[in-house]
Each structure stands twice: as structure tokens, then as C-alpha cells.
Structure 1
């Protein structure tokens, strides 16, 4: 019996099921339309956490540009980006992951920030110093935070 348990644990660890590793922002695989099939964290996203990230001015702050009816308790929804009501019915999880990670891979010229990018910026600022930042910069959101936001967005279905 002991040998069987050790074998099962070894197989699980070898396949990554027991411990997930995040994909580095420089290693994200986008398809030709900007979709990202594989999870960035290897862990399912938490929709409740994703909703909080979208409202947080220190994190995603998605509602600064997008209207989201189910987040009406958060003030000041923007109108710069499209309303996100029903996006879970319009895009697949892979498409949504790609848009949140780096929308420029799907929509060339978009104003939406790349939330999971660390290099290749035009000229990022270094805090409030007035000087250009040194790359690599940390991503705005972690791999798990991207998965959480995607999980929340996928709950927004057309009625």
C-alpha cells in the first residue's frame, strides 16, 4: 500500500497537479488572434476575488474605463472602454485571458493597459520621478489575479 501512495504522489507532482507554477509574462503563448489557451497560474480563478480586483484602484481598476452593472456598488464607472455586461457570452475563456493579459495582442492600438507584461514598453514612468522606468517592470496583476478577473468576467452572461 505504501508503494502505491508514493507512486500516486510522484505522478501527481510530476504532472504539476499537486503544485502549480505561474507562466512568466515573457513566456505567455498568444495565438494569432491574441487568445491564451493555457491558464497563467495553473489554478482556477476565483470570481469573487476577480470582482474585487476589477473595483480596486490599486489593482485592475477596470471600472475606471468599463461599465459593469453587477459592480454598481463601486462608484465612477467609465465609458472609455466597452461595457462588460455579457462578455462571458461573447468571448471564450482563452480570448478573455488574452485580452486581460495584453489586449494589444487582440486589438492593436487599444488604450487598455497590458496587465501581464514586463518588457517592451514604449516609455513607462518610474513612479513620480519623471524618469523612464527600468525594465523588466513587474506586471500590474499577478498570474493568479489575471485568472481571478477572467473567472469573474466569464460569469457575466447575456440573459
Structure 2
């Protein structure tokens, strides 16, 4: 049976899919040791964000969260996650491209030890602006990454996706 993956946007203040997003983030944390946050912090940040989603339709009106990006109104990505079975399929890139449609500049933090995330962001054209020691609650260091300062981000990302 073939499933369809569709894009959806949840506006700030709406907690639709927050539990699914938490479950996806937690599965990644357990497998990879990244994306560590307290549940209350995650839930509050999710509710304050615009959330870009990819959902897979399944049998009998079921949906599975494939990936999501929770983004503040200034273009800062609070959370970005793609389910393991969907990585390498372009969903992360398409989430970033969708965010770029709405923002002239995109920023985020990534753990300095999270080489796959840093490689992903660099592949899309993000640059490390600075290193922040002891950024995370557990004392982990972060890079502050930035993409773009004006128009053209979407076009650059579209070229990567074609």
C-alpha cells in the first residue's frame, strides 16, 4: 500500500501534533543522544512557534509525523527533526526551504558534537557565526548557525532540491 506525505503548517498557539513531535524528538534523543530538552520547555516553545510538518497518511485516517521544524517568528529554528526511516529523502531540506519561504534569514543552534546536524546545515549553506561554550543545560557547547541575510535563500535551496 502506497502512502502519501503531505506538508502542513501549524500556527503559533496551536498545539496540534505537539505530542507526536515530542515522541519523534525523544526517539532521536534516545537513539543519538541529541535534542535533549525538558518536556515543559519543549511544549511551551512548540506552542509559541510556527510548526512546519510533514505527515504520512496511512490506512483508515491515520497519520505519522515524518518530520517537523518549530520556528520562531524571527526565523530561528528551535527544533528540527526527521524520523529515521525518512532521512536522506530530502524532508529536512524541504522543511528548511519552507521556512525560507517565510523568512529572509534563518538561524539555529547545533551541538558542536552533532556532526550530522552541522554537516546538514553546512550542506544547505548555513555558516557558523560563533561557538557558545556551556550553551546547553548539560554544559554542552553549541554553534550558532545562520543562513542568508536577504532574498535568494529560497532560490538557493530550490537548486539543492532539484
Where relative contact order (Cα < 8 A, 6+ residues apart) is larger, the structure is 1
Which one has the bigger strand percentage?
2
TM-score where L is the length of structure 1: 0.25
